[in-house]
Amino acid sequence: MNDYTESVESIASAARVASVTMRKATTAQKNEALEAIAAALCENAAQIEEANAEDYERERAGGMSQGLLDRLFLDSERIADIAEAVRHVASLPDPIGDVIKGRTLDNGMRLTQVRVPIGVIGMIYEARPNVTVDAASLALKAGSAAILRGGSAAARTNSVLVDIMRTAIASCGLPSDAISSIDSFGREGAVALMRARGLVDLVIPRGGAGLIRTVVEQSLVPVIETGVGNCHVYVDSSADLDKAHAITINSKTQRVGVCNAAETLLVHGDVAEDFLPGALSSLSEAGVVLHADERTRELAPEGVEIVDATEDDWEREYLALEMAVRVVPDLDSALEHIRTYSTGHTEAIVAQDCDAIEEFVNGLDCAAVMVNASTRFTDGGQFGLGAEIGISTQKLHARGPMGLDEITTTMWIARGDGHIRS
């Protein structure tokens, strides 16, 4: 057992003790602590920005992609948004104690299934300091303790954020160890966290395909797999092309370094000649590098550069100003393409034909389907769930944006009066 394992297990043990207190914390106590976190973030914005500037400049000089730099960057406006997201979590109904189902058995025993905290949640993520606050605040409201591993790219920012939050919740009488970080122990610390079965109840990875795969394959602690987002926009022959244009541009360019940004555009052949020239021009003007099939290249306006699409392009989550484009002969071909290359995150159809919409919705197996709407809406905040802890692409327990309910578990309570089983 190395020093990292001992250190991480010590932090996890402290988090487990803190989780006992969190389990009993009242809604008022948790909300007070969340409000204290939000206030402290705003009061210490300058300190957070200074730390973030160090991280940002180091990673920019090191060649980090623009999409990841965008995720890393914090300014006063983004800090205020993060604080507001914490306040929103405080305003949400407390899920703990909710009765999911209940009945009286034939023998007179009263049986209820209630929502309870998970306990200790480990969060492993990359270059996203907002996740540091989102994960901690959601875990706190859900009555659990959070252990955070945010990666080296945001190390200074995350250190400051964790210190601010620990101080804030301690000022409200909750244990500071309900929020802790293992960033200083590097990758070895993350491995130790994944193997701390018995101390940690759940690990949630959030990041690129490599990170998620590593956690899923190496963790001895149960994992909820959050998704790589190879998201598609399909423009049907029945689509309102003005809406299709706006949805395509928004899905790709509104924010590129996120898992719900569209990476592939599929266009029905019957409308390709009318739709693609304008869409390709707008995407190109926005700086998007286009990887396309032969038919798309034929329809591209003069001055719009097209790169020949390869098999890798249909599979890629670019997280950058790049997009794959293909003309398909019909809806069935679009569905077959998506089934082949989708990561099960978010798929969008733009169509007016109700039968086409129903076939699209029922023909796919993914966490979210958007009908005449941007893929960018697959988000806990947009869905009214508060600051999500991630978007699950697995099928067990939680799927799609994970809000408060998804980071709780349940307990059965049977109330009898001296009942014994015969």
- 123 with 183: CB under 8 angstroms? no
pLDDT, tens digit, 9 for 90 and up, residues 128-169: 899 999 999 999 999 999 999 998 999 999 999 999 999 999
Any idea where the domains of the chain sit in the sequence?
3-226+402-415, 231-377
pLDDT of residue 257: 82
Residue 2 has pLDDT above 60, yes or no: no
pLDDT, tens digit, 9 for 90 and up, residues 191-213: 999 999 999 999 999 888 888 88
Q: H/E element holding 176?
A: none
How far apart, in Å, are the Cα atoms of 88 and each of 38, 117, 180?
10, 20, 22
Say which DSSP state 224 is in.
P
At residue 345, the 3 state secondary structure works out as: coil
Residue 417 CB partners (closer than 8 Å, separation 6+): 108
Other CB atoms within 10 A of residue 377 CB: 17
pLDDT, tens digit, 9 for 90 and up, residues 111-124: 999 999 999 999 99
Least confident of 51-65, 188-202, 345-359, 382-396: 382-396
pLDDT, tens digit, 9 for 90 and up, residues 358-398: 999 999 999 999 999 999 999 988 888 766 788 898 888 88
Residue 96 has pLDDT above 80, yes or no: yes
pLDDT of residue 66: 83
Task: Give 3-state DSSP helix, strand, coil % of the chain, rounded to 5.
Answer: 50, 20, 30
pLDDT of residue 1: 47
Average pLDDT score over residue span 8-29? 98
- The separation between the first and the last C-alpha atoms of the chain, rounded to the nearest angstrom, is 49
- Per CATH, which fold does 231-377 belong to? Aldehyde Dehydrogenase; Chain A, domain 2 (3.40.309)
Query: For residue 395, with 0-12 CB atoms within 10 Å meaning exposed, 13-18 middle and 19 or more buried, which class applies?
Result: exposed
Residue 328's pLDDT band (cuts 50, 70, 90):
very high
Residue 63 has pLDDT above 80, yes or no: yes
C-alpha to C-alpha distance for 290 and 80, rounded to whole angstroms: 35
pLDDT of residue 388: 78
- 165 with 133: CB under 8 angstroms? yes
CATH number of the domain at 3-226+402-415, please?
A: 3.40.605.10
Which amino acid appears at position 223 of this protein? V
Average pLDDT score over residue span 54-59? 97
Return mean pLDDT, the chain.
95
pLDDT of residue 307: 96
In sequence order, what DSSP letters do the residues of 63-123 get, joined into one string?
T--HHHHHHH---HHHHHHHHHHHHHHHHSPP-TT-EEEEEE-TTS-EEEEEEEE--EEEE
